[in-house]
Amino acid sequence: VSDSQARWTIVGQGLAGTSLAWALWKSGQHFARIDRGHGGSSRVAAGMLNPITGKNFEPSWRLNEFLTPAVEFYEEVESWIGRKIWHPYPVLRLAETGKEWEKIRSKLSAPHVAPWVAQEVAPPPGWTGAVLLRGGGRLDTLSFIDGSRDFFTKHGIAHSSHHESSGPGVTTIHCDGSTGLISNRYGSHRCAKGEILTLHAPDWDDTRIRVGAGGWLVPVGHGNFKAGSTYEWNLLDELPTAQGRSKVEAICRKLGGDSFTVLDHQAGIRPILRRSQPLIGPLNDHEWMFNALGSKGSLYAPRMAMLLARWLVDGIEPDPELSFPCYLKSLERESGH
Ligand SMILES: Cc1cc2nc3c(=O)[nH]c(=O)nc-3n(C[C@H](O)[C@H](O)[C@H](O)COP(=O)(O)OP(=O)(O)OC[C@H]3O[C@@H](n4cnc5c(N)ncnc54)[C@H](O)[C@@H]3O)c2cc1C
């Protein structure tokens, strides 16, 4: 299918490219989509959105600005594609050691953390402390990507599996995830491979996301869960390994228990430039980028896409912290050039 009026070509239809397609669609733009149809980290991701993360128990970067637009966006897309994609869940954050629990507890009433704290709860056996968080959930990434693809195809938006050079007057926006980063198109990267299991465990509590022991367990319905994950910076391929599987199985035993069956084992590469802080912006006169969603594509993709569409279509620049050209300048300043 081709659209002779297309002004934009989006390369990549993971969370970044699909969110951008919606933002351009909503502003009445003509665009074409390119995607290989396989690989990429969005198809592997658990889609979990957890407001307060990490060992330091801190809100995700610029959380207040990104969370509500993300949830509103997914709910709006549901109404367009007629499929449920956003599943809100409380997040049960568990602490293994006394030291870890002390850190978490010391922050529960801090003004930047307290709005996300639903309540402190009794820890399950084997854990030192537990707190229930609000605002979390799971994006069904496959339903989002495939449902959007079907919608755009039905509405005549061009799609192809490979990118040839764009014609005159067409701007290409690279939303190519780790493929783009590993090609060093954007300078040095910090991409990290991750492995994830899909489990069947009908006896486990499927009313909450569980986070602890350096991993997570996300209910996906029908007694199934996604569990992860590992971080590997050196061997960047999309191949599951026995070592990765046993690491994630150990997380599963701690978070869920011993009785589960592994249904699937996958690996993907998180696109990272500087932690999970995405970037958008022009590369030259006819090419732009949207990348570096890191471990938190579900949280950041929708609003970044909206800001990028505004920049592309209306020329309104986002604040410098989100801009790829500004990021490059800051690197140059740091290196003294
Ligand atoms: C194991 C694991 C678990 C994760 N869990 C979560 C989670 O729970 N929550 C969360 O928010 N995030 C999670 N992430 C991170 C999440 O996957 C990323 O933040 C997000 O998916 C990145 O989206 P993207 O669109 O930038 O990249 P991708 O999803 O990689 O999309 C890039 C697309 O571009 C295509 N492409 C690239 N080059 C070309 C080309 N030349 N021609 C055609 N097509 C091309 C690829 O095939 C791919 O489809 C996880 C990641 C991993 C690895």
**What confidence tens digit (pLDDT) does each residue in 120-136 have?**
999 999 999 999 999 99
pLDDT by residue (tens digit) across 288-320?
A: 999 999 999 999 999 999 999 999 999 999 999
User: What would the pLDDT profile of 76-93 be if each residue is shown by its tens digit?
Assistant: 999 999 999 999 999 999
Average pLDDT across the chain, whole number: 96
Residue 253 has pLDDT above 80, yes or no: yes
Give the per-residue pLDDT at 1. Answer: 42
Tens-place pLDDT, residues 6-34: 899 999 999 999 999 999 999 999 999 99
Residue 273 predicted with pLDDT over 80: yes
Q: Which of 241, 295, 300, 303 for mutating ligand 1's site (highest number of atoms within 8 Å of CB)?
A: 295
Task: Give the mean model confidence (pLDDT) for residues 112-127.
Answer: 97
Q: What spacing in Å lies between the alpha carbon of 126 and ligand 1's midpoint?
A: 35
The residue ranking higher by pLDDT, 165 or 130, is 130
pLDDT band at 163 (very low <50, low <70, confident <90, very high): confident
176 lines ligand 1 (CB under 6 A): yes
Q: Which of 49, 138, 163, 179 is the best mutation target for the ligand 1 pocket, counting ligand atoms within 8 Å of the beta carbon and taking the most?
A: 179
B/e letters for 249-275, b = 16+ CB within 10 Å, e = fewer, are: bebbebbbeeebeeeebbbbbbbbbee
Band of pLDDT at residue 162, cut at 50, 70 and 90: confident
- Residue 337's pLDDT band (boundaries 50, 70, 90)? low
Nearest residue (CA) to ligand 1, atom 34 = 12
Query: Would you say residue 169 has pLDDT above 80?
Result: yes
Q: Is the pLDDT of residue 2 over 70?
A: no
Q: How far is the CA of 40 from the centre of ligand 1 (A)?
A: 4
pLDDT number for residue 336: 81
